[in-house]
Structure 1
């Protein structure tokens, strides 16, 4: 089956980064469906925040959630600095989203502009690292790295990580997924030539 036609590119990306690049990733239809469901839950939570009722003042619950956003961001940075541990980083993202989703759905949380701005800054932070929220750029607030050197270093490391993951997929003869990665990299101006066997 052509995976690229069956699944959104962001779902495929989520699937690829949800396991550590050093570990084996056994592709199954069930695992792709799980990745799709998880990713859709993330997008639905983002939409819930965007559409949530507005509050003029900030509640104690909002203060606590803003602190949890800060904490999750720091833990994601720590995980990525620890040998690009994407499963741990994404687990932090999922835990935070579950709490925010519960607060809005079960507790009827109303949000203010400060929370909304901080939340979408967190979304952009994750987009810049994982590239999983590209369609939401219009709603995001500016995010900047400490320096261009830091940004360049991260980009180079992530490209190398993607190339390593792609090589693993080819070793496992998962050519559909590896071709998707090659084409997306080519769109970004990065050409990969595979050696003929």
Structure 2
């Protein structure tokens, strides 16, 4: 194992979630997959998925499409020191960040997604970093006990670690939550769970719903 190949979101209605992903983001089902689950979950699920794009106009286009498809705004699009972005919550409960490091448009808005990033909210960033290095991941960037980003290969999902409360603040939601994370990370050589209870598996079916 040296990368996060794809993620599987556990949702109550796979057909509805597939329609949302297609209408809102045009997501490739090879990287973000779906499976049915009724596992109890409340509050913040401990992660966000980020769509990294090239310019602010594309952020606005994807946010608009997500709202039209039934998402709700957690943080409206705005400029910051690092760029421009927004946070929305899908009807299935998944929190999505849509962001760019660019502060000005350089061309017409598109729906092109440059990168998908899974940010895990963890209690101890340094401990989780050691754990994942032990599982074969390579650190790309690290900022002490605040943030870690692992290297990702072409066509995979980039994995990053963030303090749970800090990630909830970025997402615009309370940090409290319990029950299932409602996500499975896929790319391991054998199933395991990390120190914060995030489950890794070797395979997951592509949803054909919708």
Q: Do the two structures share a fold, i.e. TM-score over 0.5?
A: no
TM-score with structure 2 length normalisation?
Answer: 0.27
Query: Which structure has greater strand proportion?
Result: 2
Query: Which structure has greater helix proportion?
Result: 1
Max Rg structure: 1
